[in-house]
Amino acid sequence: RKEVEQDPGPFNVPEGATVAFNCTYSNSASQSFFWYRQDCRKEPKLLMSVYSSGNEDGRFTAQLNRASQYISLLIRDSKLSDSATYLCVVNMRGAQKLVFGQGTRLTINP
Amino acid sequence: GAVVSQHPSRVICKSGTSVKIECRSLDFQATTMFWYRQFPKKSLMLMATSNEGSKATYEQGVEKDKFLINHASLTLSTLTVTSAHPEDSSFYICSARDTSAYTFGSGTRLTVV
């Protein structure tokens, strides 16, 4: 079983739609959780950290359910510029390295 | 914010030659840096953790004699792909941690012909 699993997509949605991404992780010792965005042929960039209480940054909302070992990302009122690959990333307690999911490709269509 | 500079951004080399990739933390000191590899339409896979002043820690299945890592200072880590072959063609990305945030270099696209 992969340490971090995501639906690879691709997701093709019209501009203005709401999109939801899901992610599960296998190691209950995981401590920190993130969503990264990666554009084609570019490095990943931090979109937001994910907290148990849930957190929101503009059109983006992230949720964490530790009991289910499940992380989600919701994008509201999607823009053309949201087209990218979204990576679910986990950091284990006491470890420095990040573990990446395979990413979910999103294309927003005009 | 923290900046990690990586170069070259793109390199084409002949099979059997070696290629060195540099990763620098520009405005912070990084005792630990990470090297990832990403194949097309795949996610980032950690290759090794580079530790300043000591040997790198390699992930399972990564040949340490083929992927040489040197972390001689708090701001520079290098990855050398020795005797490169076409199957080594990939996108190599470094990362460093500044306080709680992980910052990535812009990546190096290696093509071995």
Predicted confidence (pLDDT) per residue in A14-68, tens digit: 999 999 999 999 988 888 999 999 999 899 999 999 988 889 999 999 999 999 9
The minimum CA-CA distance between B37 and chain A, rounded to whole Å, is 11
Asked if A99 has any chain B CB less than 8 Å from its own CB, the reply is: yes
Which residues are A22's β-sheet partners? Answer: A72
Predicted confidence (pLDDT) per residue in B68-100, tens digit: 999 988 999 999 999 999 999 999 999 998 777
The three-state secondary structure class of A86 is strand
Asked if A47 has any chain B CB less than 8 Å from its own CB, the reply is: no
Asked if A97 has any chain B CB less than 8 Å from its own CB, the reply is: yes
Please, what is the average pLDDT of chain B? 93
Kindly report the backbone phi and psi dihedral angles of residue A81, in degrees, each rounded to the nearest multiple of 5, phi listed first: -70, -10
**Bridge-based pairing state of the strands A60-65 and A55-57:** antiparallel
* Mean predicted confidence (pLDDT) in B35-55: 91
Please answer yes or no on whether B105 and A43 come within 8 Å at the CB atom.
yes
Please answer yes or no on whether A99 and B46 come within 8 Å at the CB atom.
yes
Whole-angstrom distance, CA of residue A92 vs CA of residue A30? 4
**In the predicted model, is pLDDT for residue B1 greater than 80?**
no
Of residues A43, A96, A102, nearest to B93 (C-beta): A43
Whole-angstrom distance, CA of residue B22 vs CA of residue B37? 14
- Given a contact cutoff of 8 angstroms between Cβ atoms, the answer to whether A17 and A106 are in contact is no
Contacts of B105 in chain A (CB under 8 A): 43
**Bridge-based pairing state of the strands B10-13 and B108-112:** parallel
The minimum CA-CA distance between A102 and chain B, rounded to whole Å, is 4
The minimum CA-CA distance between A101 and chain B, rounded to whole Å, is 6
